[in-house]
Amino acid sequence: MKVVLQNLTKQFPGRDKKSSDVVTAVNNFNFEIPDGKLIGLLGPSGCGKSTALNLISGLIAPTSGRIYFGDDDVTDLPPENRGVGLVFQSYALYPHLTVRQNIMFPLENLKGAERPSKAEMERRVLEAAKLVQIEGLLDRKPGEMSGGQQQRVAIARAVVKMPKVLLLDEPLSNLDARLRLQTREEIRRIQRDTGITTVFVTHDQEEAMSISDMIVVMKEGVVQQIGKPQAVYDDPVNLFVSKFLGTPPINVFEGRVKGGRLFIGDEPVLDVSGAPEVEVWAGIRPEGFIPDANGPLTCQLRGVEVMGRDISVVCAHEKCEAAQIRAIISAENAIDEGSATVRFSLKPRKVHLFDRATEARIRFGADAKGVN
């Protein structure tokens, strides 16, 4: 089921009830979510992700704009008539009911012709339980299960009605690191198996990048960028997006463009022909550094961390906005740990320039000639 968000805006009254201030939690959101895809809605706390999800579910009504499921305008329909499955951070299972009864609950609530026979309900509960691999636990109560198992029950309950759209709000937040990894893969598998259009809210960029077909990066209610995870990582539209994606994060330097070259401090570190002569933020991805005894960028060496296949060179530079720079390089490179400095040349595609004033992307080289 394709989902279309059209000029979607949600405003809440501000804290001060007497003033006319409003909080614009979601600001003119436009997006056509393709049928059968998994979309990661991503951004820092308070950026409006949950509000956007709640608008799609119908739990809250928009201030303006429309929502379509396929060709149907569902903006004025209550959640129960939209055909959505919801999973929240807290599993919200009924503690006194067994897993079987919890999963069956949405089917038992169906009325009239929609309500399946008891045998059909049993069949569908078993099918949903198999999908999330808890079919052996159907007679347990939620209190007798791990957090990861409980979250799977919540997912089974959300998919048992075969919703048109599955909406997940930070579903992994209550799980420990190992279970988070495992469960996110499960969600991906379940989504692929069922083909249900799914929107997944998270503040964890790695989580969103790893399982989404497309990500939507939000900031202060405004969509910053929409695209395939790798495309957004490789080609961020502004400084915010570049800093939000990537572990370790992008290294940001004060720089300026002069005569087609990027200067960091006094050093011309990269040919950036086509870029305007302005002050910039120069973002360098950790994998963008090449150790090079004659390289143009000189950093103070702080240490070397071995990570197996790669090594992380920890260094510093007075023009870097963070105290530490992290360069990830192949372990085949030899770094003299006794040296006070380390020199790098840079991979042009791993260097992104942003206007210092507007923080918008500045393109250079082949990119400057039209490709957006």
Residues at the contact surface with ligand ATP, assessed by CB under 6 A: 12, 23, 25, 43, 45-51, 203
Q: How far apart are CA 347 and CA 270, in angstroms?
A: 9
Q: Which is nearer to ligand ATP, 23 or 290 (CB)?
A: 23
Q: In terms of CB distance, is 12 or 94 closer to ligand ATP?
A: 12
Q: What is residue 238's DSSP assignment?
A: B
Nearer to ligand ATP, 22 or 322 (CB): 22
CA angle 335, 338, 342 (to 5 degrees): 50
Interhelix angle 99-108/118-131, rounded to 10 degrees, is 120
Cβ 184 to ligand ATP shortest distance, Å:
17
Instruction: Return the number of the residue (203 or 319) whose C-beta is nearest ligand ATP.
Output: 203
| Closer by beta carbon to ligand ATP, 50 or else 212 | 50
Kindly list the distances between the CA atom of residue 77 and the CA atoms of 4, 36, 74, 321, in Å, as whole numbers in the listed order.
Answer: 15, 22, 5, 48
Spatial separation of the C-alpha atoms in residues 325 and 298, rounded to whole Å: 12
CB of 237 to ligand ATP, least distance (A): 19
φ, ψ (nearest 5 deg) of residue 103: -70, -35
Retrieve residue 34's tokens: 């393709």
CB of 271 to ligand ATP, least distance (A): 40
Question: How far is Cα 209 from Cα 317, in angstroms, rounded to an integer?
Answer: 29
The residue among 78 and 303 lying less far from ligand ATP, judged by its C-beta, is 78
Closer CB to ligand ATP, 48 or 142, in the complex: 48
CB 248 to ligand ATP: min, Å: 22
Give the C-alpha separation, 83 to 91, whole Å.
20
Q: How far is the CB of 220 from ligand ATP (least distance, A)?
A: 8
At 278 the three-state DSSP class reads coil
Alpha-carbon separation of residue 146 from 142, 252, 370 (angstroms):
8, 41, 53
Lookup: tokens for 227: 């695209």
Q: How far apart are CB 67 and ligand ATP at their closest, in Å?
A: 16
Sign of CA dihedral 35, 243, 296, 300: negative
Indicate the SS3 state at residue 28.
strand
Spatial CB neighbours of 180, under 8 Å, sequence gap ≥ 6: 172, 207
CB of 42 to ligand ATP, least distance (A): 9
* Nearer Cβ to ligand ATP (16/266): 16
- Residue 85: CB minimum distance to ligand ATP, A: 19
